[in-house]
Amino acid sequence: MTVFNNRVSCVAAACAFFTTSAFAENPTLTNPAISAVLDGYYQNTERPMAERGEGFGLGHTEIAMSANIDDMFYGKLTAVIEMHDGETELGLEEAFIQTLAMPWGFSIRAGRFLSDVGYLNNQHVHTDAFSDRPAAYRAFLGSHYFDDGVRVNYVAPTDLYWTMGLESFKGDSMRAAGGEHDDHEADSDHAERDYKNIGVYTAYTKIGGDIGNGSWQAGLSYMRNENGRMVEGEHEEHAALAAGDEGHDHSHSATFTGENTYIADFVYKWAPNGNYKYQHLTVSGEYFKVTDFAPLQDDHDSTASVDDMQGWYLSSVYQFSPNWSAGVRYGETDVQELHGDHFDAQKLKETEVSLAWHHSHFSTVRLQYTNQKGTNYFGIEDDNVLTLQYVMTLGAHGAHQF
């Protein structure tokens, strides 16, 4: 006779908030959880592909409401307020429903939500230990990729935490920059690009467990972008987007795209005696590879020998007391910019150090130093960026993923 082992790892417990059973707790529809996250900053200069500009500004300020709709569905709404070029912009980051009572570990989410590819992407940016996402995220996912679509997720009944899922999205923010392309028709030299209405498909799997006083999680993700291949003439629009020209519409669009994106991620969290409240160490890293981005000419790549685009980062954050934490992060991003009939390689290296004071779980003040080194990267050679940031939470704000 098979005996069911109900031992649950710390990773599985931490991730349980996002399983179907966890949504069945309070708050209810008649008493929803309502919260606001205030994000303000001062920065001495700009960073490529980043949301924060020079001087004083508002960062990722969000207002969220969530509740169980009934015994079958959970719903969440997250609005984001940001400043760009002196104007206040209001955006909708999340507006989704999720099933609560599907059998065999399955759940379905529909609406607008954060994709579950990679490690950081499914987390709100105010939970990060640094003021901006790594350059690889800013280049390939528009900092954090959220979109309109549907997700089917499965959590396996195993001792280790193991989940896998499929997503499909509209994909507007992941499109290669607009423009015209040669349609090779005898009666027309150029035609407006025909984008597919369902542009992005993803598949991912994540597995995790415990090691002593620590927990780990590793994941693999694949993104198929049907509208990700560049066309002739798009390099100028990519350059304007990355450099932050006045024409940039602050749409959180990816700066560099391709038809195929592969992501590998890993995170390890350790705490003395397993008590994360007073001291803990988090080590995480991700690797991105983007392929099939060169324009097609007669159904063949225009530049067969061009290198794939890639990016990676490695981060270590240590909370050495209940009120203080320090972090170090290093990352590199290698991309290709199209110039006429050839590509130019561009490289960006970022070394970052962060010191944060947490008076409570709801308030953080952070000082961050970033050194940027660019090789052909939109004019960036060597720059030093200082950022002073606060993140304050008002109201009942739900737990975050592992």
Q: How confident is the model at residue 232 (pLDDT cuts 50, 70, 90)?
A: low
User: How many beta carbons lie within 10 A of that of residue 46, not counting itself?
Assistant: 16
Residues 129-142: what's their mean pLDDT?
Answer: 95
SS3 content of the chain, % helix, strand, coil (to 5): 10, 55, 40
Higher pLDDT, 48 or 240: 48
Higher pLDDT, 21 or 331: 331
Q: How confident is the model at residue 295, as a pLDDT?
A: 84
Rounded-to-integer distance, Cα 310 and Cα 354, Å: 25
DSSP string, 122-191: TS-GGGSSSSS--HHHHHHSSSS-EEEEEEEEEE--SSSEEEEEEEEE--GGGSPPP-EE---BTTBS-E
pLDDT in tens, 24-51: 445 665 678 899 999 999 999 888 888 8
What pTM did the predictor assign? 0.85
For the ranges 159-168, 208-217, 335-344, the lowest mean pLDDT is seen at 335-344
Give residue for tokens 């290198």.
307
Select from 283, 357, 315 the least CA-distant residue to 135.
Answer: 315
Mean pLDDT estimate for the chain: 83
Q: How confident is the model at residue 245, as a pLDDT?
A: 43
For the ranges 30-39, 68-77, 116-125, 168-177, the lowest mean pLDDT is seen at 30-39
Rounded-to-integer distance, Cα 68 and Cα 98, Å: 9
Cα angle 224, 226, 229 (rounded to 5 degrees) comes to 100
Given a cut of 50, whether residue 172 has pLDDT beyond it is: yes
CB 200 within 8 A of CB 171: yes
User: Would you put residue 378 in left (φ > 0), alpha (ψ -120 to 50) or beta?
Assistant: left
Give residue for tokens 């989410």.
109
Q: How confident is the model at residue 297, as a pLDDT?
A: 65
Higher pLDDT, 376 or 25: 376
Residues 129-156: what's their mean pLDDT?
Answer: 96
Name 339's bridge partners. Answer: 342
Q: How confident is the model at residue 379 (pLDDT cuts 50, 70, 90)?
A: confident
Q: How confident is the model at residue 230, as a pLDDT?
A: 80
Q: How confident is the model at residue 395, as a pLDDT?
A: 83
Q: How confident is the model at residue 35, as a pLDDT?
A: 92
Determine the distance from the C-alpha atom of residue 256 to the mean position of all C-alpha atoms in its chain, rounded to a whole number. Answer: 14
CB 290 within 8 A of CB 309: yes
DSSP element (H, E) containing 380: strand 380-395
Select from 128, 124, 131, 126 the least CA-distant residue to 53.
Answer: 131
Given a cut of 50, whether residue 85 has pLDDT beyond it is: yes
Q: 153 phi and psi, to 5 degrees?
A: -120, 150
Higher pLDDT, 363 or 234: 363
Rounded-to-integer distance, Cα 241 and Cα 24, Å: 42
Rounded-to-integer distance, Cα 63 and Cα 84, Å: 18
Higher pLDDT, 8 or 108: 108
| CB-based contacts of 103, cutoff 8 Å, min separation 6 | none
Q: How confident is the model at residue 247, as a pLDDT?
A: 37
CB 329 within 8 A of CB 355: no
Higher pLDDT, 233 or 190: 233
Q: How confident is the model at residue 398, as a pLDDT?
A: 65
Q: How confident is the model at residue 191 (pLDDT cuts 50, 70, 90)?
A: very low
Higher pLDDT, 323 or 191: 323
For the ranges 220-224, 269-273, 372-376, 390-394, the lowest mean pLDDT is seen at 372-376
Rounded-to-integer distance, Cα 142 and Cα 256, Å: 9
- Tokens for 378? 């939109």
Rounded-to-integer distance, Cα 58 and Cα 64, Å: 17
Q: 247 phi and psi, to 5 degrees?
A: -80, -10
Please tell me which of 142-151, 241-250, 290-299 the model is most confident about, judged by mean pLDDT.
Answer: 142-151
Residues 301-323: what's their mean pLDDT?
Answer: 86
User: How many beta carbons lie within 10 A of that of residue 370, not counting itself?
Assistant: 22
| CB-based contacts of 124, cutoff 8 Å, min separation 6 | 37, 60, 62, 78, 114, 400
Given a cut of 70, whether residue 166 has pLDDT beyond it is: yes
Q: Where are the beta strands (DSSP E) in 247-379?
A: 260-270, 280-291, 296-297, 300-301, 309-321, 324-339, 342-360, 363-377
Residues 333-357: what's their mean pLDDT?
Answer: 90
- Tokens for 333? 């991003």
Please tell me which of 187-196, 260-269, 389-398 the model is most confident about, judged by mean pLDDT.
Answer: 260-269
**Bond preceding residue 27 cis, omega within 30 of 0:** yes
Q: How confident is the model at residue 304, as a pLDDT?
A: 55
For the ranges 18-27, 39-48, 173-182, 335-344, the lowest mean pLDDT is seen at 18-27
Q: Where are the domains of the chain?
A: 102-181+193-387
- Kindly state which CATH superfamily the domain 102-181+193-387 is placed in: Porin (2.40.160.10)
* pLDDT-above-70 percentage for the chain: 80
SS3 198: coil
CB 242 within 8 A of CB 346: no
Select from 43, 70, 66, 38 the least CA-distant residue to 54.
Answer: 43
CB 96 within 8 A of CB 122: no
Radius of gyration of the chain, Cα coordinates, nearest whole angstrom: 22
Give residue for tokens 């606060």.
390
SS3 168: strand
User: How many beta carbons lie within 10 A of that of residue 324, not counting itself?
Assistant: 12
